[in-house]
Chains A and B, each alone.
Chain A
Amino acid sequence: MSGTNIMIVGVGGQGTLLASRVVGGAAISAGFDVKVSEVHGMSQRGGAVVTYVKYSRQTVSSPIIGLGGADLVLAFEPLEALRSAAFLKPGGAVITNTRRVDPMPVVVGVAEYPEGIADKLRALGFDVAEADAAGIAAECGSQKAANIVMIGLLAARRADFSKAEWLAAVEASVPKRFLDVNIRAFEAGYAVGS
């Protein structure tokens, strides 16, 4: 119970799976017990995706997080941050990318994309930080590294692992030829988050 429960949410294709593996890797190297829960298959295709990372000095039994169970939501897309609100503990933290991706019901005009999501989350009592991860990643050389920018933002706000542990976990999870851009992305996210 004394562990940390992180929910990583986004849109299929945004690299949330890799991000959750980075967090899991950092937690292991810091000596925690860890469970990372992923969803493969259908929801990879532009649907809402959720992964859970739980780490603790004690044994982690369940790999998933229920209502009111998350300490932190790392959202790759603002609407998905809002959707996870009920999963946060009271006063929990949200780190969200500001880049919105319209879901199909919005595209075809049968639903409206909510405005002012960060404020809505703050009104619910959550501690919200925002950044344009996609923009920051583009400046680092590849918009695809937005997931690692998000990791940088998270690293700056969670002191559970050292920066070296974070960097080692990034290195272990991304393909060699994209390592440089991902390190830059991590550092940029870290700087913005600090």
Chain B
Amino acid sequence: MSGKILMLGNAAVARGAYEAGAAFVSSYPGTPSTEITECAADYPELYAEWAPNEKVAAETAIGASVAGARAMTCMKHVGLNVAADPVFTASYTGVNGGLALVVADDPGMHSSQNEQDSRNYARSAKLPMLEPADSAECKSFTKLAFELSERFDTPVLLRLSTRVSHSQSLVELGERESVERKAYKKDPMKYVMMPGMAKLRHLVVEKRVTDTMAYAEGADINRIEYHDKSVGIIAAGIAHAYAREALGERASYLKLGMVWPLPELLIREFAANVGELWIIEELDPFIEREVRAMGIAARGKTDFSPCGEYTSEEIRAVVLGEPAVCADPPENIPGRPPVMCAGCPHRGVFNVLSRMRLTVLGDIGCYTLGALPPLNALDTCLCMGGSVSMAHGMEKAAGRDFSKKAVAVIGDSTFLHSGITGLIDIVYNKGASTIIILDNSITGMTGHQQNPATGLTLRNEPTRKLDLEALVRAVGVDRVTVVDPFDDGATAAAIKAELDADEPSVIIARRPCALLKGVRYTGKCVITEDCRDCGACVRSGCPAISRRSGRPRIDPAQCVGCDYCRGLCKFGAIGRVE
């Protein structure tokens, strides 16, 4: 295995873009896709940036492609919902420089709010989609995506899934291809999508679907591997890896590297040569439906669930009837849900909201953890930006008395992603909602990415820092307050005052994430003899505070010394050791 290195799938996608001579990457973070863009930023030859959201990222990548550069944008599955508008029409315009759209699905929802299958987008937007199974393919398929994009004049989708993105396997590194930026030529018939032009382009799109289908028939990334022919497996990506491990040479395989369009002739040939045909795919029966539409009988979602991930052990059990032997899992094992970190500034706001028993429209970020015990503070969590607009809708439907007891909470990155448009709606349509921006000076949830409000770029270069107060004032919010969420009294007072005000208000709860490098809390908090066991500190949900032998106790290994709990204790029973 010499010459090969262990590489994360995401790092291998970045490497593929680098080797393909790509010049431009713009993305918005989202697990499990985030590291692609972070790794791309490590190559000085590539321009890489964080955009405020996926739509902007996709549009900038399209712009770079039209300018003639090989360009890429990366997102998680739900990010493609946000980017769908430009993507569907870029399918019509086609490209100039190669354009790779990378989308990472999350079967099993390790870190997502839904489990949608992005292959459906390939079919709807009529775009070719490749799906790698390991890091080596992540690299080679990314390179192929750029080639196909230029050859067929189309954006190309690359579909990943959590286990491909976040698994390390061996990759052999190659050289960077030197690719000149193509000249940009004005071409309104191709790039100005008004009905007159778009009607003509639609014909081009349909022809391209036929052309890419013909390509798929002969592409070596779609390959048949015959062993025992009594069982035939059609699978792509990670599902193929699971099936291959589960069944070894006891089955034959059609491994699809391209999941859209599908190679009908190849599928027919394979089906004709094997006994029982199985389609092994996580999430939707996407391939299975197409295969059945060809009039070919196949098993798949007949026996497997459309929910969650597969494993090799499950496939062996279902296809071969050989269930794994395993211990009976002991019952009543307490769960271990993720928690807000010790020192997390979000805790301050949620502790107040939980005490005030407000209706809290939540959003997506670390602060979504405020939904869990003991804070139990959130009523909703839908999509990025949804908190602000939902608060407005609820006020209009349920009335002002209702909205006097409701707030929306949204992180700094999420607010800039798509909360600002909801706020404009509130002002424009004379709402009076109270919005709390939880400004921890970073995009936390996805692992600390910079955003426009942090004043640093993806490469940590200083840039013009977006002024949140000025922004919300500019859209017409006159009541803007900034509080320190660890100042319990001030936070509670601000929320009360703004709920009572009959106009829109924004409270910015500002304190940096405790995990940021610049944040240096020192010492530890300790509970003293004066403790009356009122439980106020325990109810704040700090993971350093537990109640192992009756009375609350602070675990020095977990305490970061943020002092938040000291402010909550009415009896002054929490001291410090330096």
Contacts and interface: CB of A to CB of B under 8 A. Distances in A.
Interface of A: 1, 11-13, 21, 24-25, 28, 31-48, 60-69, 79-80, 82-83, 85-90, 101-114, 120, 124-126, 134, 143
B279 to A, nearest CB: 18
B317 to A, nearest CB: 9
Nearest to B314: A66
Contacts of A104: 336-337, 339, 372-374, 541, 543
- Which 6 pairs show the lowest CB-CB distances between chains A and B? A66-B311, A66-B313, A68-B324, A68-B326, A41-B111, A47-B338
A79 B327 contact: no
Nearest to A114: B333
B553 to A, nearest CB: 10
Interface stretch (B164-172, B195-203, B466-474): B164-172
Interface in B265-311: 309, 311
A24 B167 CA distance: 11
A106 B334 contact: yes
Contacts of A79: 333-334, 336
B170 A33 contact: yes
Contact of A42 (B31, B313, B328, B543): B31
Contacts of A41: 31-32, 110-111, 445-447
A38 B327 contact: no
A94 B339 CA distance: 26
With most chain B CB atoms within 10 A of its CB, the pick from A21, A46, A88 is A46
A55 B546 CA distance: 39
Interface stretch (B240-248, B389-397, B452-460): B240-248
A109 B547 contact: yes
20 contacts: A25-B6, A28-B170, A33-B170, A35-B134, A37-B167, A38-B168, A40-B447, A42-B31, A63-B167, A64-B309, A69-B324, A82-B330, A83-B336, A90-B325, A90-B327, A102-B548, A103-B336, A107-B543, A111-B332, A126-B327
Contacts of A37: 163, 166-168
A64 B333 contact: no
B545 to A, nearest CB: 7
Contacts of B242: 61-62, 64
A87 B340 CA distance: 28
Q: Bin chain B's interface residue count.
A: 35 or more
B77 to A, nearest CB: 13
B167 A36 contact: yes
Nearest to A67: B326
Nearest to B165: A40
Interface in B533-560: 538-539, 541, 543, 545-548, 557-558
Contacts of B168: 21, 24, 34-38
Contacts of B110: 39, 41-43
A63 B310 CA distance: 12
B31 A87 contact: no
Contacts of A69: 311-313, 324
A102 B238 CA distance: 34
Contact of B6 (A28, A80, A101, A106): A28
A89 B56 CA distance: 48
A69 to B, nearest CB: 5
Given A43-B111, A105-B335, A61 B543 contact: no
Nearest to A10: B336
A40 B111 contact: yes
A86 B326 contact: yes
B74 interface: no
Interface centre among A36, A40, A83, A111 (most CB of B within 10 A): A40
Contact of A86 (B8, B329, B543): B329
A87 B330 CA distance: 12
Interface string B1-38: 10000101000000000000000000000011011000
